[in-house]
Chains A and B, each alone.
Chain A
């Protein structure tokens, strides 16, 4: 069993009558890339804030590098790099200055920080923008800068809350590439996301959260294997006919999900099922065979889509 950096048992956080995190257990091993997957309001960010020693838990226990974050906040935070959901950079300072002042908050020497800033500018591909005020940067650049900022102290654990939300596809891929490099370098990553592709790309292991609870845990492949079939056939017969043909299709596959615009059919071989459907003279307007994803796992576990 690899060394556990984070260990939570019965972790609960309530805001008045509302339970944001409802008695969850999880462990994160050193060097692991651990994901919290779930829709908005699932309790992911609250869990992150408890780990980051910036939120008091209501009950349960949590240990980060052997310390309770509530009792040893500064000591715990010294080991963390935190990338919040919304960039909170100082927009009036330059890119370089933002990295510099953050390094100083960790008590690092000016000499070290100045050297580190050069390295981080290269990592974040922001060398040409080093003397530009942050307010002039694009959304993707600001995000990369926030990640670079979190790395200034060479943290043991990098925490990323919805790292690519609001970014265009190109910016997302650049960011994924940067995060993948960190993962290769052995940095422990904790990522919250409601994007299944992001979770599949970046996470070695993840928990699926909904309404403050952990619904399932495992690697993306394990979760898909356990909670879904190998392939999914998506068919569209038009919104009126979907309802009509659904009972017939139900007999032909392992599982069926009726969404407002399409029907998802869960099988091992999608092409084979499509042929069988055609043989019954049911001709969908469109069809698509794809492999199962974490979205399907989430649908199975909660009966709802991740992005609603």
Chain B
């Protein structure tokens, strides 16, 4: 063994080595990642923010959106959505690839790196992508005059936090997927799309009939969006609801990482 191999060093920094290689892999897709990060917000801002915004404002002014323009109302939701989708991309696909498609996690695990370190490394790299995408989006929102530069930066931070929570959960879930035949289709069409539509993204969740509101209550997108609206433009939210939003996302983050740790360990150690 080379004298430079230090198990103690790997124990401390193993997750960072995994993150380093994940970022290297991601950099192969930097053009696409940047295009998605820039293009996606642009499309939504123009089509929904401006197009539908005019319709909403002409019909009901700002009474249905808590006293702010429609584009301002949806901006934190789109920011949160960018964070969650970025986190999903960088957890679902790497984990499927690592365990199933290209089995690279088994290669990493034949070094001193452990399953939980691989999970954490993938997670850290996902956060880098989330931070990059959310930051770009926020710059856009500020540049378009939708959010204020000084007063809304915390909306960017909570979006990243929501992305982290959702990414952790996705990592825990996907680590248990052995057959991917329908998983990605079901995830995309029956989980992500309803969450996007029923999480108070385009209208307040309370507009929905009460029996549909629970979809929002369990949605990390709704909790992240509500926090974003509070920090982004000062939407009124009670202290207890603020705590609930934070606690929900924190519970998701912790549970996701715990599940991922257990599943990564068991799946790699046959």
Contact = CB atoms under 8 A, between A and B. Distances in A.
A90 B101 CA distance: 11
Nearest to A101: B21
A108 B9 CA distance: 9
Interface residues of B, number: 33
Given A55-B270, A78-B10, A108 B111 contact: no
Interface in B91-115: 102-104, 106-114
B40 interface: no
A153 B25 contact: no
Nearest to B111: A105
B87 interface: no
Contacts of B109: 54
Contacts of B104: 88-90
Interface stretch (B12-20, B67-75, B197-205): B12-20
Given A73-B114, A107-B6, A153 B1 contact: yes
B268 interface: yes
A77 B110 contact: yes
A108 B102 contact: no
A78 B268 contact: no
A109 B270 CA distance: 31
Given A73-B114, A106-B112, A107-B9, A56 B269 contact: yes
Interface in B1-59: 1-2, 4-7, 9-11, 13-14, 17-18, 20-21, 24-25, 28
A104 B107 CA distance: 13
B102 A88 contact: yes
Interface string A74-87: 11011110101010
A92 interface: yes
A154 interface: yes
Interface in A77-123: 77-80, 82, 84, 86, 88-93, 97, 101-102, 104-109, 112
A78 B114 contact: no
Residue with the highest number of chain B CB atoms closer than 10 Å, among A56, A89, A105: A105
Question: Interface majority SS on A: helix, strand, loop or mixed?
Answer: loop
Contact of A108 (B4, B107, B268, B270): B4
A49 interface: yes
A102 B107 contact: yes
B59 to A, nearest CB: 49
Residue with the highest number of chain A CB atoms closer than 10 Å, among B5, B28, B111: B111
A88 B10 contact: no
Contacts of B14: 105, 107
A80 B24 CA distance: 25
25 contacts: A54-B109, A54-B268, A54-B270, A55-B270, A56-B270, A74-B7, A77-B110, A88-B102, A88-B103, A89-B104, A90-B21, A93-B28, A101-B21, A101-B24, A105-B21, A105-B108, A105-B113, A106-B2, A106-B4, A107-B13, A112-B2, A153-B5, A153-B111, A154-B2, A156-B1
